[in-house]
Amino acid sequence: MGKGNKERAKERREKRRQEVSLLRTIPYSDHQRWWSSDTIAVVTGANRGIGFEIARQFSLHGLTVILTSRETKVGEEAAKVLQEGGLNVVFHQLDVVDSSSIKLFADWVKQTFGSVDILVNNAGVNFNAGSDNSVEFAEKVFDTNYYGTKNMIKALIPLMRPSASGARIVNVSSRLGRLNGRRNRIGNLSLRQQLEDDGSLSEELIDQTVATFLEQVNDGSWTSGGWPQVFTDYSLSKLAVNTYTRLMSRVLSGRPEGQKIYINCYCPGWVKTAMTGWAGHTSPEEGADTAVWLALLPEQFVSGKFFAERREINY
C-alpha cells in the first residue's frame, strides 16, 4: 500500500471513529430499550482493558453485569471500582480454560440469577508483540481464545432466558482471523474453501484444523504449513472463533420464536491495552463500543456476522 493509500485509509478510519463516537452520545429511547435492571450480562476477562470497559458500558445502560476474572483479587477490585460509582456489578471468579471453573460458574449463575440474557466472550491471550511470531504458547492461546469461548457458549446456552428480544452472544475476535483477508490468511486454498462453505463447516472441521496446526507446532513443521505468518497462533485462534460463530448461528437458527439466541463476533481494533503493550491506536472505550452496541440492538435479527466499528465486515 503506497503512502497515499495509507493516508487515505487512516483518514477513513479516523472519520469512522468520529462517527461512532457521535453515535455513542445518542441515548436509547424508551421504546428501543428491551432491557432493564433485571437483564443479566456476563463478561469474561473483565478485570481490565476491553472487558472492563464492556462491563462498565453495560452497567451504565442499566443492566446487571456479572464481571468475571481468572484472578479473584483483581476481579473483586475491578468490580468494586464500578460498584463505588453506583453501578450494578457483581463479581465471580472464572477461568475459561478450566472446565470445572466453568461448571461452578454456570451453577452459581443458575442458583443466583436463574438465567442470563447476554454473554460477551472477551477473555483472550496473545503472547506476541511487534514483529514477534513465537508459537511457544500456542496451546494456551487456543485453550483460552477458542476452546474457552466455545465451552462458555455451551455452558451458558441452557441458561439463556427465553424472550421476545432474544438472548445475545458476542465473541471478541480480530480481523487477523479473517479467512480471506489480503494479508495473514491460510495458504491452503482447499481448507479455506471448506471453512468458508457453510455446507461443509462443522465443529469437527474447526477442531481438526486447530489440532493439525498444534501438531505441526510440536514437530516444528508449522512454518511450511501454509498458516498465517503474522501472529500465527493468535490469528488462527480468532479464525476458529469466527468460524465457530458462523456455525453456532446456523445451529441456533432453528430455535422457535421466543427462544432465539443471536450470536455475532467483532473486531475491537488495535486497542491500547496490556495485550498490545499499550501500543494500540484505539481507546478501550472505543474498542468496547461495538460489543455493547451489538448486544443491545433493539431489533436483533442479525446473527452469524462479523463486525467492526458498528459495521458488518467480511469474514
Residues 4-45: tens digit of each pLDDT: 777 887 788 788 888 888 888 888 999 899 999 999 999 999
- By CB atoms closer than 10 A (0-12, 13-18, 19+), residue 294 is buried
How many Cα atoms within 13 Å fall on the side-chain side of residue 133? 13
**What pLDDT is attached to residue 296?**
97
The yes-or-no answer on residue 147 being catalytic is: no
Beta-carbon count within 10 A of 196 CB? 14
36-175+234-313 adopts what CATH topology?
A: Rossmann fold (3.40.50)
Q: How does pLDDT run across 197-247, given as a tens digit for each residue?
A: 999 999 999 999 999 999 999 999 999 999 998 899 999 999 999 999 999
- The Cα–Cα gap between 103 and 215 comes to 29
Catalytic residue among 234, 244, 262, 266: 234
Exposed e or buried b per residue across 70-89, where buried means at least 16 C-beta atoms within 10 angstroms of its C-beta: beeeebbebbeebbeeebeb
Cell triple for residue 192? 479455506
Q: How does pLDDT run across 62-115, given as a tens digit for each residue?
A: 999 999 999 999 999 999 999 999 999 999 999 999 999 999 999 999 999 999
Domain segments of the chain: what residues? 36-175+234-313
